[in-house]
A and B are shown apart, each in its own frame.
Chain A
Amino acid sequence: GAGVSQSPSNKVTEKGKDVELRCDPISGHTALYWYRQSLGQGLEFLIYFQGNSAPDKSGLPSDRFSAERTGGSVSTLTIQRTQQEDSAVYLCASSPTFYEQYFGPGTRLTVT
């Protein structure tokens, strides 16, 4: 079946512009996670959605970052007024349970 998909795969933007990153989770998965991965680094948790519960936003690095999940499915991560330090790969994962997370291929964001 189809895995987690993310779009765009690559995004180059100018400093100060807003960007939207999209994640299509595996159908039926109730949990959805966003992570950030800087070059050669580990995974930095950003935000977590579980069903209809309020999202866990504890990992968002600043108020320039926000995310929503519509209809319990597709999620959009928005970064406003992008900065060069926002350059990274943004990974989305979904999960049917509290165990395995299935990752998408990521969106590579470059802020120039």
Chain B
Amino acid sequence: QQQVKQSPQSLIVQKGGIPIINCAYENTAFDYFPWYQQFPGKGPALLIAIRPDVSEKKEGRFTISFNKSAKQFSLHIMDSQPGDSATYFCAARFRDSNYQLIWGAGTKLIIKP
């Protein structure tokens, strides 16, 4: 019940396309949903985050869509660029356990030139 299921495991998109990465959860005690971006050899870095009282949030070319009733949230990257190639992790903050982040398994995204 504390899991966050992320899909797909890997994704290849042409430059300019819109990759979509999906995450699903079961536990309603999650109250904050961030996405992290990780480049090879680096630690993850916060990309964008959303709370469950909002259905969509945009920051630049990155958008989170949140469907509270379906317990799903997704990351969309508009006008994707080769520099967006990275591994993306979704996460959910579990407010009933020291506010721990529960992490998805990650999606390796490749943007082809």
Most buried by A among B32, B43, B100: B43
B92 contacts chain A at the CB level, 8 A cutoff: no
Q: How far is the CB of A48 from chain B (nearest CB, A)?
A: 6
Q: How far is the CB of A94 from chain B (nearest CB, A)?
A: 11
On whether the beta carbons of B45 and A103 are closer than 8 Å, the reply is: yes
Chain A: interface size category: 20 to 34
Stretch from B13-21, B67-75, B78-86, B102-110 at the A interface: B102-110
Within the assembled complex, what's the spacing in Å between the Cα atoms of A103 and B41?
12
Chain B residues lying within 8 Å of A42, measured Cβ to Cβ, are 89, 103-106
Q: How far is the CB of A33 from chain B (nearest CB, A)?
A: 8
On whether the beta carbons of B46 and A100 are closer than 8 Å, the reply is: yes
B44 contacts chain A at the CB level, 8 A cutoff: yes
Q: Convert A72-112 into 0s and 1s, putting 1 for each residue whose CB lies closer than 8 angstroms to a CB of B.
A: 00000000000000000001010000111111111000000
On whether the beta carbons of B105 and A41 are closer than 8 Å, the reply is: yes
Chain A residues lying within 8 Å of B45, measured Cβ to Cβ, are 102-103
Within the assembled complex, what's the spacing in Å between the Cα atoms of A93 and B89?
15
B interface residues with partner A (beta carbon < 8 Å) = 32, 34, 41-46, 49, 89, 93, 98-101, 103-106, 108
A interface residues with partner B (beta carbon < 8 Å) = 4, 40-43, 45, 48, 50, 56, 91, 93, 98-106
